[in-house]
Amino acid sequence: MAEQQIKVAVLGGGSFGTALASIAADNGAHVRQWMRDETLVAQINNEHRNGRYLPHYAMNPAVEASTDMQAVLADASLVLIAIPSKAFRSVVQAAKAWLRPEQILVSTTKGIEQDGFLLMSQVLEQETGFSHIGVIAGPNLASEIADKQLTATVIASADPLTRTRVQQALGCRYFRVYASDDRHGVELGGALKNIYAIAAGMAAALGMGENTRSMLMTRALAEMSRFAVAQGANPMTFLGLAGVGDLIVTCSSNLSRNYRVGYAMGEGRTLEEAVDALGQVAEGVNTVKLVCAKASEMGVYMPLAEGLHHVLFDGVPAQEMARTLMMGEQSSDVEFILPREAVQQAHRDQAHHDQAPPSQKNGGSNA
């Protein structure tokens, strides 16, 4: 017996929503995509192209675009929401009247909501109270997916049905979907890496080398996992695609919008000029503000995020910030092995020993 065709609704007409809609259609799903721009809807339906966000991408012609949210959601069993974090809740609120508890709701958005420091799946939970909720995150540059470059992502949900359905709907010869049940960790990974992508773009524009980029990415991973663990996530998630995977791609590629904002600033543009020139969302700009505030409230040490915050919002030159960071207190490499406090304590003990009069020094191991 032929398998029933899965019905997928995508909310959002940007680059990622468009790439995901087309993947699902390539994979045999019946796909409707909602966006608010009528001209774009007409272009997608007539030319099978999203001229604003992915102009060179030949979309699967089976994707039906519409500005009618009710029609898009009516009989969908899987709803993918690809709306920037600033507008996410309002779009979910608009959709609510047509959402049903048996539907699977998946956020693809890598951002944080200011009020309450909520991730998008938490917004979905709050707004709907439904149980089939998940997130997609991973190294997924939309324009590379559009080129059908081999790509992998993670579907994270505590709900096995959500994980399985998304793997069935999106997994295909160029898009591989791995599963995780650490929804919070995966979602935090996607949001946090945007901060470091801005810093990496800046470093590249300032002519910093591969050693520097490697240091930045590795220390970023330490910082991200430290923060995520304090938030209840599993640190092992950061070894996966939504952690180190997404960090590598966005800290290395000019296709990342966050990286491009950092690069433009490294070339001397202001934050405002860099964001205006982009014309799309760079979630990291807002995320760094929210994360620094949260880290300070929770007492989590995040020198890179704080350094970037000073550069973006306090006018501190990036090179001066890099110098300050390099001269900060020496620390532990992998703090899940050697705790940072142990390194600090050893420094304090040594300083104490060095200052003691010669008669009190044992002359042995500390010499």
Ligand X SMILES: NC(=O)C1=CN([C@@H]2O[C@H](COP(=O)(O)OP(=O)(O)OC[C@H]3O[C@@H](n4cnc5c(N)ncnc54)[C@H](OP(=O)(O)O)[C@@H]3O)[C@@H](O)[C@H]2O)C=CC1
Ligand Y SMILES: O=C(CO)COP(=O)(O)O
Nearest to 20, CA basis, from 53, 43, 47, 42: 53
Angstrom CA distances, 292 to 192, 234, 300, 303, stand at 11, 20, 9, 9
Cβ at position 283, least distance to ligand X in Å: 5
Cβ at position 204, least distance to ligand X in Å: 18
For ligand X, which is the closer residue by CB, 11 or 304?
11
Question: Is 307 a binder of ligand Y (CB under 6 A)?
Answer: no
Per-residue binding string, ligand Y, 243-272, x by CB under 6 A, is ---x--xx-----xxx--------------
Nearest-angstrom CA–CA distance, 203 and 139: 20
Q: Considering 193, 289, 294, 361, which one is annotated as catalytic?
A: 193
Question: Is 224 a binder of ligand Y (CB under 6 A)?
Answer: no
Q: Is 214 annotated as a binding residue?
A: no
Task: Check if the beta carbon of residue 73 is closer than 8 Å to that of residue 96.
Answer: no
In Å, how far from its chain's centre is CA 35?
22
* Binding residues for ligand X (CB under 6 A): 12-17, 35-37, 53, 82-85, 87, 90-91, 108-111, 140-142, 280-281, 283
Cβ at position 343, least distance to ligand X in Å: 35
Using Cβ positions, the residue closest to ligand X within the complex turns out to be 14
Q: Kind of pairing, strands 151-156 and 133-137?
A: antiparallel
109 contact, one of ligand Y, ligand X, none, CB 5-8 Å limit per kind? ligand X
Residues paired with 50 in a beta bridge:
54
Structure tokens at 296: 């300070």
Question: Is 189 a binder of ligand Y (CB under 6 A)?
Answer: no
Nearest-angstrom CA–CA distance, 359 and 317: 47
Nearest to 166, CA basis, from 122, 207, 210, 136: 136
Nearest-angstrom CA–CA distance, 195 and 312: 11
**Ramachandran region, residue 64 (left: φ > 0; alpha: ψ -120 to 50; beta: rest):** beta
Q: Is 234 annotated as a binding residue?
A: no
289 is annotated as an active-site residue: no
Question: Is 141 a binder of ligand Y (CB under 6 A)?
Answer: yes
Cβ at position 205, least distance to ligand Y in Å: 15
180 contact, one of ligand X, ligand Y, none, CB 5-8 Å limit per kind? none
Catalytic residues: 193
Which residues sit at the interface with ligand Y, rule CB under 6 A?
A: 110, 139-141, 194, 197, 246, 249-250, 256-258
Q: Point out the annotated binding site for sn-glycerol 3-phosphate.
A: 110, 138, 193, 246, 256-258
